[in-house]
Amino acid sequence: SRSDELIIKFKELIRQNGLEEEIAVVQTGCHGLCEAGPIVIVDPEGTFYSRVTLEDVEEIVKEHLVKGRVVERLVYQGEGASTHYSLNDTVFYKSQKRIALRNCGVINPEEIDEYIGTGGYEALGKVLTTMTPDEVIEEILESGLRGRGGAGFPTGMKWRFASGNRGKVQKYVCCNADEGDPGAFMDRSVLEGDPHVVLEAMAIAGYAIGADQGYIYVRAEYPIAVERLNIAIKQAREYGLLGNDIFGTGFNFDIGLRLGAGAFVCGEETALMTSIEGNRGEPRPRPPFPAVKGLFESPTILNNVETYANIPQIIINGADWYKNIGTDKSKGTKVFALGGKINNTGLVEVPMGTSLRTVIEEIGGGVPNGKKFKAAQTGGPSGGCIPAEHLDVPMDYEHLAEIGSIMGSGGLIVMDEDACMVDIAKFYLEFTVDESCGKCTPCRVGTKRMLEILDKITAGEGTMEDIDRLEDLANKIKTTALCGLGQTAPNPVLSTIHFFREEYEAHVRDHK
Ligand code: SF4
User: Ligand 1 centroid to 64 CA: how many Å?
Assistant: 57
* 501, 451 Cβ separation under 8 angstroms: no
- Compute the C-alpha angle 476/480/485, nearest 5°: 100
Q: How many A from CA of 481 to the centre of ligand 1?
A: 6
Rounded average pLDDT over 273-286? 95
Question: Mean pLDDT across the stretch 14-40?
Answer: 92
Nearest to 344 by CA among 47, 107, 37: 37
| Whole-number pLDDT of residue 80 | 64
**Is residue 391 classed exposed, middle or buried when 0-12, 13-18 and 19+ CB atoms within 10 A define those classes?**
middle
Q: Is 60 exceeded by the pLDDT of residue 153?
A: yes
Model confidence at 83, in pLDDT bands (50, 70, 90)? low
Residue 162 scores a pLDDT above 80: yes
84 pLDDT above the threshold of 60: no
pLDDT at 194 over 70: yes
Atom number of ligand 1 nearest to Cα 481:
5
As a whole number of angstroms, the distance between CA 391 and CA 374 comes to 10
The proportion of the chain whose per-residue pLDDT surpasses 90, expressed as a percent, equals 86
CA distance 364 to 96: 11
174 — pLDDT class (breaks 50, 70, 90): very high
- Whole-number pLDDT of residue 81: 57
Nearest residue (by CA) to ligand 1, atom 3, is 440
Task: Give the pLDDT mean for 239-248.
Answer: 97
Given a contact cutoff of 8 angstroms between Cβ atoms, the answer to whether 93 and 67 are in contact is: no
Question: Cβ neighbours of residue 42 under 8 Å, at least 6 residues apart?
Answer: 49, 60, 64, 65
pLDDT of residue 181: 87
Ligand 1 pocket, mutate which of 482, 487, 491 (most atoms under 8 A from CB): 482
Give the Å distance between the CA of 308 and the centre of ligand 1. Answer: 27
On whether the CB atoms of residues 139 and 222 are closer than 8 A, the answer is: no
Residues within a 6 A CB radius of ligand 1: 265, 283, 436-440, 443-444, 481-483, 485-486
Residue 9 has pLDDT above 90, yes or no: yes
Residue of 178, 264, 265, 487 to test ligand 1 pocket, by largest number of atoms within 8 Å of CB: 265
CA of 432 from ligand 1 middle (Å) equals 10
Q: Does 319 have pLDDT greater than 60?
A: yes
Q: Which residues contact 297 (CB under 8 A, 6 or more apart)?
A: none
Candidates 440, 448, 450: which one to mutate for ligand 1, based on the most atoms within 8 Å of Cβ? Answer: 440
Kindly report the pTM of this predicted structure: 0.94
Which pLDDT band, with edges at 50, 70 and 90, does 214 fall under? very high
For the segment 239-264, the average pLDDT, to the nearest whole number, is 96
Q: Quote the longest CA-to-CA distance of the chain.
A: 77
Q: How confident is the model at residue 2 (pLDDT cuts 50, 70, 90)?
A: confident
What's the CA-to-centroid distance between 439 and ligand 1, angstroms?
Answer: 5
**Span 389-424, pLDDT tens digits:** 999 999 999 999 999 888 888 899 999 999 999 999
Measure 309 CA to ligand 1 centroid, in angstroms. 29
Pairing of strands 333-340, 411-416: parallel
Cα separation, 109 vs 318, in Å, equals 25
CA 364 – ligand 1 centroid, Å: 35
What is the per-residue pLDDT for 407? 85
The stretch 265-292 carries a mean pLDDT of 95
Q: In sequence order, what E strands does 21-88 have? A: 40-42, 47-49
Q: What is the mean pLDDT of residues 13-30?
A: 94
* All residues at 6 or more sequence positions from 470 whose CB lies less than 8 Å from its CB, including other chains: 450, 453, 454, 457, 493, 497
Cα–ligand 1 centroid distance for 444 (angstroms) = 7
**What are 476-509's pLDDT values in tens digits?**
999 999 999 999 999 999 999 999 999 999 999 8
> Between the CA of residue 282 and those of 180, 182, 274, what are the distances in Å?
15, 20, 7
Mean pLDDT of the chain: 94
pLDDT of residue 441: 97
